[in-house]
Amino acid sequence: MDKDEKKTPQGIYKYYENNPDSADEKIFGRVTYPDRRGFLKGAGLATMAAVLGGAIPFHRNMPAGIIPAAFAEGLDDVMIEGKDGLTVLNDRPMNAETPPHLLNDDITPTRHHFIRNNGIPPTEVDAEAWTLTIDGLVDKPMTLSIADLRKNFEVVEQQLVVECGGNGRAFFDPKAKGNQWTYGAVACSKWTGVRLADVLKAAGVKEGAVYTAHYGADKHLSGQEGKLAISRGLPMAKAMSGENLIAFEQNGEPLHPMNGAPLRLVVPGWPGSCSQKWLTRIQVRDQVHDGPKMTGTAYRVPNRPVAPGEKVATEDFDIIERMPVKSLITSPQTNSEVSGSEVMVRGHAWSGDRKVDKVQLSIDFGATWMDAELADPANVAAWQTFSAKVMFPQAGYYEVWAKATDDAGVSQPFAIAWNPKGYLNNTFHRIALVVKG
């Protein structure tokens, strides 16, 4: 297990007390927004106003370095430039998830796309000078700029689900160590790029190729030169399938700095960790890749049933491949009040490389289920939107449960077997509603 994964978020006061500059850096990303640096010293008044929800008439009186009282709640409300409403789970590295009601759009806006960093994002990002090298077991190793990618390959636009393998970890008992993701380490943005398969074909994958190995420009948390934060890969069959993109645009704009600007992989339907951010190199290997977070227990689950809390030997783990069938209720927001006796329930469903066939809702703790309307995906590997009008027989507290079933007939379970690292939790999404009648 990583040392960093044990860290819990600290209050913003403590955080600024210890090191105001690095606090600014962590929250606003010194890296990508050099002009914002020292924002709390008065450098970024507009940013501050945006965070606080209004201009500051007495800003001239505001002591340098003062922490606005509006931030007293902790990190949750702190703005990450270009992000909105995310819940920060860890600040070093930055990890933030999206509350379900902010995932209601069919296409997740960039400001609501979660952030999962294993290391320190690159400091100098120059999209013009950026290059991607394809090497290893290929006929023609090549180094391409983003302009080269655009010029030499078909540029495609796809809505693609990225979900962290640890999404839902917070609900395992006994607790699994790592970021305590609840529901929101998932998103479906519109990505523009070229197909990974097209680029690999152009490089000419040689016989004996087994796995890709992905490299990015972020640094290991230790800051140690040459030490990688994460380097994962794909079996060749998945790498060569058409849905994976080497992406340079997110929702029609350059990628967000925390989502991998200026270039990343998007490998929908498989653990988010396959989607290398700040992508610099793809190597084709004659063996299963063994980079950081490929081995041991990282992004792996036991290959046999284990008892909750059981110690499992490393050799009894398998690499996670496709993500399981899942659904998320995005409207109404949990804990809202309903006036009247009915409400429109809406959300999304997805299932690794498969299509979702059915989404059902229950308001009686799973005793009976009604079918929701389910739309087709916008394209392969996009999530599907469901909706249903739900009627409540009388006033009171209800839970709405959602259950998706995919085209292989596999449904979300009520409960899931425990695993040591808390991966692949695809149990029903449940929201609470108080019906006022």
Ligand X SMILES: Nc1nc2c(c(=O)[nH]1)N[C@H]1C(S)=C(S)[C@@H](COP(=O)(O)O)O[C@H]1N2
- Judged by the rule CB under 5 A, the positions of this chain that interact with Mo ion are 116, 164, 272-273
Considering the complex, what minimum distance in angstroms separates the CB of residue 243 from Mo ion? 18
| CA distances to 12, 61, 377 from 47, in Å | 17, 17, 37
Q: Is the CA virtual torsion 198, 202, 203, 204 positive or negative?
A: positive
Give per-residue burial for 49-67: e unless 16+ CB within 10 Å, then b. eebeeeeeeeeeeeeeeee
Considering the complex, what minimum distance in angstroms separates the CB of residue 231 from ligand X? 8
- 118 contact, one of ligand X, Mo ion, none, CB 5-8 Å limit per kind: ligand X
Considering the complex, what minimum distance in angstroms separates the CB of residue 165 from Mo ion? 5
- 114 contact, one of ligand X, Mo ion, none, CB 5-8 Å limit per kind: ligand X
Considering the complex, what minimum distance in angstroms separates the CB of residue 288 from ligand X? 18
Helix and strand element counts for the chain (H, E) = 6, 23
Judged by the rule CB under 6 A, the positions of this chain that interact with ligand X are 113-119, 162, 164, 216, 218, 229-230, 259-260, 272-273, 275-278
Longest dimension (CA), the chain: 69
DSSP 8-class letter at 152:
H
- 426 contact, one of Mo ion, ligand X, none, CB 5-8 Å limit per kind: none
- 269 contact, one of ligand X, Mo ion, none, CB 5-8 Å limit per kind: none
- 424 contact, one of Mo ion, ligand X, none, CB 5-8 Å limit per kind: none
Q: Is the CB of 164 or the CB of 372 nearer to ligand X? A: 164
Token pair for 78? 């702190």
What is the distance between the alpha carbons of residues 417 and 173, in angstroms, rounded to a whole number? 10
Considering the complex, what minimum distance in angstroms separates the CB of residue 93 from ligand X? 7
Nearest CA among 284, 286, 250 for reference residue 265: 250
Q: How are beta strands 429-435 and 336-338 bridged, if at all? A: parallel
Considering the complex, what minimum distance in angstroms separates the CB of residue 272 from ligand X? 2
Q: Is the CB of 271 or the CB of 332 nearer to ligand X? A: 271
Give per-residue burial for 243-266: e unless 16+ CB within 10 Å, then b. bbbbbbbbbeeebbbbbbbbbbbb
Q: Is the CB of 164 or the CB of 282 nearer to Mo ion? A: 164
Considering the complex, what minimum distance in angstroms separates the CB of residue 187 from Mo ion? 12
Q: Is the CB of 113 or the CB of 326 nearer to ligand X? A: 113
Q: Is the CB of 113 or the CB of 348 nearer to ligand X? A: 113
The CA-CA-CA angle for residues 78, 84, 86, to 5°, reads 70
Q: Is the CB of 15 or the CB of 215 nearer to ligand X? A: 215
Q: Is the CB of 230 or the CB of 349 nearer to ligand X? A: 230
Residue, CB closest to ligand X: 272
- 356 contact, one of Mo ion, ligand X, none, CB 5-8 Å limit per kind: none
Task: Tell me if the bond preceding 262 is cis, omega within 30° of 0.
Answer: yes
Facing residues of 285 across strands?
A: 211
Facing residues of 245 across strands?
A: 195, 266
Q: Is the CB of 321 or the CB of 399 nearer to ligand X? A: 321
Q: Is the CB of 179 or the CB of 412 nearer to ligand X? A: 179
Nearest CA among 327, 325, 339, 332 for reference residue 399: 332
3-state secondary structure of 365: coil
Considering the complex, what minimum distance in angstroms separates the CB of residue 58 from ligand X? 37
Considering the complex, what minimum distance in angstroms separates the CB of residue 162 from ligand X? 5
Considering the complex, what minimum distance in angstroms separates the CB of residue 95 from Mo ion? 9
Rounded (10°) CA dihedral 165, 126, 29, 8: 30
Nearest CA among 191, 181, 138 for reference residue 160: 191
Q: Is the CB of 229 or the CB of 325 nearer to ligand X? A: 229
φ/ψ of 264, rounded to 5, equals -150, 165
- 183 contact, one of ligand X, Mo ion, none, CB 5-8 Å limit per kind: none
